[in-house]
Amino acid sequence: MTVVNETSRRRAGILLPVFSLPGSRGIGTLGAAARQFIDLLADHDQQIWQILPLCPPGYGGSPYSSYSTHAGNTLFIDLDQLLKAGWLTPEELESLDWGADPRKVDYAALEASSQAALRKAFARCPNFQTDPDYLSFAKRSFWLEDYAMFRAIKQSQGGKSWIDWPEPLRNRNPEALHQIGNELAAEIAFYRFGQWIFDRQWDDLHAYAQKRGVKILGDIPIYVSLDSVDTWVNPALFQLGKDKRPLFIAGVPPDGFSAAGQVWGNPLYNWPKHRDTSFEWWTRRVEVQLKRVDMLRIDHFRGLESYFAIPSEADSAAEGHWEQGPGIEFFRVLSERLGGLPFVLEDLGYLTDEVRRLREDTGLPGLQLIQFAFDSREPANYWPFEMPRNSVVYTGTHDNDTLRGWFASLSEKDQELARTYTASQSVPEADLPEVFVTLALTSVADTCIIPMADYLGLDSSGRINTPAKADGNWSWRMTAADLTAAPWEAIGELTRISGRGAVTP
């Protein structure tokens, strides 16, 4: 099996979702602020920018519950570039509601305004489908037609899930699809247009990052949403009944952080069918993402060894059970077909010897969390002195609280343990993030990635996601002042003296 170990030397990076970038129109975009962030990373020895999935978000703005594994999030489109192209006017953009709080994404306002702006631009480009650049994009995007049709039909059906569409459309009857394709031709073209613009802008931004020596670490959610083009087009690849509804759904059992466990609701894979097709769907999925980013974080890696199956009619996760996943065969086939796996494995959560063995067999780096080392609710071993070199260390991930929020939530006993270990008994609580950031950067782990909110020393207001919480996630943003006021010189110096810079002492 071929492994492309992108974390085999000491390096540092920063975790910051695209939506968290500053900007004047409700959400971070692929525009000037993104390039400014890349410049700051490059100028201060940060060699990795970790983002979250780039796919269109589902309920509550979650990028882990998307309408498509392949499509791009058009909310990230930089409208200033469309303004310069003459496809929008300043007055049109100023008349739209982008939300009142510059530190929070208001998805309700944003969705409406972004769609309105993009539709105006689309109306001014009636011949875009003859553009050579679009034709090239469409030719290499095998998923585009299914996605555009799915979104157009969903729009015409009042936003209903595809399993509630009329039977001929739900079951993809060819005659019904041909007819609806003609009826919704303009709407289908609109969704093609949005994906083309996203692709152009993302490719330009990615090329800029590569030029500056910054690698993009992307993210591939292990599961897909039930209400997605993926399940609509490929129902046989999922554990669905004759009515196309899930037989079992994904989640995790009760643990120290959630007494009831978590019910995610995603349909589970029909792994025997994936094996029969030599993991073709997965191979194409990973291939698409590796054309967009340099490395991929594989979400919920332990689900590839064994996964938690909850009956779809169950009242809680406690009624679930474990089933065997595809294991090392999955990685071997992907390696043979793609020629190398630049993966980082998100191996957090309930770990067994079998999960650890699978990670070791892949030769790929797993994750280490500073927060978990001092949290008695986490049973696994995350002591910094026992971290393997072939790993990626974080203070916390996007699913964790910020360092300040986390420390405040600890028991007195755990707080005392953390302070004793780091000799920080006299350090004010507001200054503790620097202590734990230093501990991560100076660890033996080859790669260290710090969430931007921890460099900013934010409390829980800077948290990105709280698992099992239905709303209020995926919305934290920096302001332009935050971006420039971050301790960049200190970040660069600490990166270099910990042996992670381009030039080390």
- Which of 145, 203, 299, 354 is flagged as catalytic? 299
SS3 78: coil
d(CA 30, CA 216) in angstroms, rounded, equals 13
d(CA 418, CA 315) in angstroms, rounded, equals 38
| Residue positions counted in the chain | 505
**Residue labelled with tokens 């897909």:** 224
Identify the sign of the CA torsion 46, 48, 50, 54. Answer: positive
**Residue labelled with tokens 């093609």:** 192
What pLDDT, on the 0 to 100 scale, is given for residue 504?
44
Q: Are strands 321-324 and 306-311 parallel, antiparallel or unpaired?
A: antiparallel
148, 128 in Cβ contact below 8 A? no
Q: What value does the mean pLDDT take over residues 352-379?
A: 94
Identify the sign of the CA torsion 382, 384, 385, 388. Answer: positive
Buried b (16+ CB within 10 A) or exposed e, 184-206: beebbbbbbbbbbbbbbbbeebb
Identify the sign of the CA torsion 426, 428, 431, 435. Answer: positive
What pLDDT, on the 0 to 100 scale, is given for residue 505?
41
444, 389 in Cβ contact below 8 A? yes
Average pLDDT, the chain: 95
d(CA 288, CA 266) in angstroms, rounded, equals 21
Q: What is the pLDDT of residues 379-389, one digit of tens each?
A: 888 999 999 99
d(CA 176, CA 162) in angstroms, rounded, equals 14
What pLDDT, on the 0 to 100 scale, is given for residue 350?
79
**pLDDT surpasses 60 at 50:** yes
Burial class (CB in 10 A: 0-12, 13-18, 19+), 208: middle
149, 232 in Cβ contact below 8 A? no
Bridge partners, residue 104, by sequence? 476
Band of pLDDT at residue 463, cut at 50, 70 and 90: very high
- Which of 305, 399, 454, 482 is flagged as catalytic? 399
Beta-carbon contacts of 329 under 8 Å, excluding residues fewer than 6 positions away, are 275
Band of pLDDT at residue 73, cut at 50, 70 and 90: very high
d(CA 167, CA 186) in angstroms, rounded, equals 23
Q: Give the full edge-to-edge strand order of the sheet including 447-451.
A: 343-345, 295-298, 215-220, 48-50, 11-15, 447-451, 391-394, 366-369
**pLDDT surpasses 80 at 502:** no
- Which of 346, 401, 434, 446 is flagged as catalytic? 346
What pLDDT, on the 0 to 100 scale, is given for residue 351?
86
263 vs 155, 241, 400, CA distance in Å?
Answer: 27, 19, 18
Is 399 known to be catalytic?
yes
Answer yes or no: pTM beyond 0.75. yes
Q: What is the token pair recorded at 81? A: 């570039």
Q: What value does the mean pLDDT take over residues 218-240?
A: 97
Band of pLDDT at residue 503, cut at 50, 70 and 90: low
Interhelix angle for 144-156 vs 174-183, to 10°?
A: 70
Q: What is the pLDDT of residues 88-145, one digit of tens each?
A: 999 999 999 999 999 999 999 999 999 999 999 999 999 999 999 999 999 999 999 9
* Residue in 188, 28, 18, 194 with CA at minimum distance from that of residue 116: 194
Q: What value does the mean pLDDT take over residues 233-254?
A: 95
Q: What is the pLDDT of residues 21-42, one digit of tens each?
A: 999 999 999 999 999 999 999 9
Q: What is the token pair recorded at 218? A: 């992307």
Q: What 8-state DSSP symbol labels residue 451?
A: E
d(CA 287, CA 173) in angstroms, rounded, equals 29
Burial class (CB in 10 A: 0-12, 13-18, 19+), 354: middle
Band of pLDDT at residue 261, cut at 50, 70 and 90: confident
